[in-house]
Chain A
Amino acid sequence: MTAKLELKAIKKKLRGRQVLDGVDVDVNQGRSLVIIGGSGQGKSVTLKCALGLMRPDSGQVLVDGADVTKMPEEIRARVMRKFGMLFQGGALFDSLSVWENIAFRLINADHVNRTEARERAIEAMRKVRLAPEFADVRPIELSGGMQKRAGLARAIIAKPDILFFDEPTTGLDPITADAINDLIVEMVKELGCAAVSITHDMPSARKIADEIAMLHNGKIVWRGPTAMLDTSGNAMVDQFVAGRADGPIQAVV
């Protein structure tokens, strides 16, 4: 079985620093992979390379076995249509209403008419449990948790094959965070898609992951099923999971 998404030997240098130094990771259809790792270890950069928002210096990004980094622009854009992404800060368009945000790609890329797009946006809002009365307000008027829900609705509206989540629970209270975790699990199951999330929130990782990979110094240093997390036998994983300052990983403050 070819993986839905596979990153092969991805290298990326930024401002003279080798941020990614050969990242290898893959995820199959219907599976949820969570990448954990410390701040500044290149988790977001990994995601940006996978999404085509950043071009890796070398290595391959394979979607259904085809390397998107070598595709001509139009074909790559077509492959990218299978992607959905929830941004860390929500990244909602503040000049548009909530429903126009959620229906953005339907209106602007898929040429769905506005009446139908609005109906589908409100249906997506119902799925993420965002009350329809918020459809016409500006994103700025929503709370952080509600913005996450709106971002999630926007990411799933076109039924993507691969969903990406950048720190979906950061900045939320534990109860709201858990509700978002539940929603992510539910959406991934419903869509049957592959999911790649990055987080340093361990309860969240345990909840949404089938598999966990740890990124450190530009490489994947450990990878295994979620159940193995506490018995990984890897000192760096143990330190990260326990949240200890002393160990093989030195905190950079």
Chain B
Amino acid sequence: MINPFAPIGRGVLSTLAEIGRFSAFVGRALAASVTPPLFFGQLLRQVMQIGYFSLPVVGVTAVFIGAALALNIYVGGARFNAEQFVPNIVVLGITRELGPVLAGLMLAGRVSAGIAAEIGTMRVTEQIDAMTTLSTDPFKYLVAPRVLAATLTLPVLVLVADIIGVMGGYLVAVNSLDFNGAAYLRNTFDFMEPQDVVLGLVKAAVFGFIIATVGCYQGYRSNGGALGVGRAATNAVVVAIVLILMVNYLITAFFVE
């Protein structure tokens, strides 16, 4: 007789095992990131790769989201004569939510997949084994620089995204919604509170950590040649996005309490 619950049970068990393996990996990655030696050259390279080269994609995303947000809030606000709140709500939405989440999602695509593919290729071509035989810990040389770089640079990227996002809203409001520029900016800064920005930056650091560890983990455990590397990159993006959205809710709820 076929037990209909068997596949479900097997699924739950393998998911739990996967969570266990990932947790162990995160523990090792954390330990490698905070203890010497630090491969400073590798860290710099990753800061450029993950942070600097992501500026265009984050900037473009932010300016269009800020602009669209301003339009939507204007239309919605007009329904109860609250059009003047556009600057306040734009800055709130960008700093607390859209800046970090969109930057996180864009980087989940750009960076997680890239890390998984690069480390996955090194795994299947035995470069990681080779590194170990050359007395160099791959967690120190490969994982730690990526984790540190992503965790440190994502808040900076989000700060840039915040500014550009507010700019996007400003441009639309002033040019097509007849707002007064000086008044718009005054409203933005008077209304905004430090904790809005801080919440966004905390989220950004956590998302950066997720993006790098998921990418490294998927790459590190990949097998089965080119197919396996492709699978690792795809998994990295999906897992990173799901984790980012889940953790985003948890952090928001925690801060709202």
Contact = CB atoms under 8 A, between A and B. Distances in A.
B127 A108 contact: no
Interface stretch (B18-26, B81-89, B131-139, B152-160): B131-139
B62 to A, nearest CB: 31
A1 B29 CA distance: 42
Interface in B118-175: 122, 125-127, 129-136, 141
A51 B129 CA distance: 9
Interface string A65-98: 0000000000001001101110111011110000
Contacts of B127: 91-94
A93 B128 CA distance: 9
Interface string A94-128: 10000000001100111000000000000000000
Nearest to B132: A53
Contact of B134 (A88, A89, A104): A104
B183 to A, nearest CB: 52
A56 to B, nearest CB: 16
B132 A108 contact: no
A80 B39 CA distance: 21
Contacts of A87: 126, 129-130
Contacts of B134: 104-105, 108-109, 154
A110 B135 CA distance: 9
B224 to A, nearest CB: 13
B125 A80 contact: no
Given A88-B126, A91-B125, A93-B127, A83 B133 contact: yes
Contact of B129 (A80, A91, A92, A105): A91
A108 B142 CA distance: 12
A225 to B, nearest CB: 29
Contacts of B130: 85, 87, 91-93
A105 B126 contact: no
Interface string B93-132: 0000000000000000000000000000010011101111
Contacts of A94: 127
B20 to A, nearest CB: 18
Given A53-B133, A81-B135, A89 B125 contact: yes
A77 B133 contact: no
Given A87-B126, A91-B127, A108 B39 contact: yes
A137 to B, nearest CB: 18
13 contacts: A80-B132, A81-B135, A83-B133, A84-B133, A85-B130, A88-B126, A91-B130, A93-B122, A104-B131, A104-B134, A108-B136, A109-B134, A109-B135
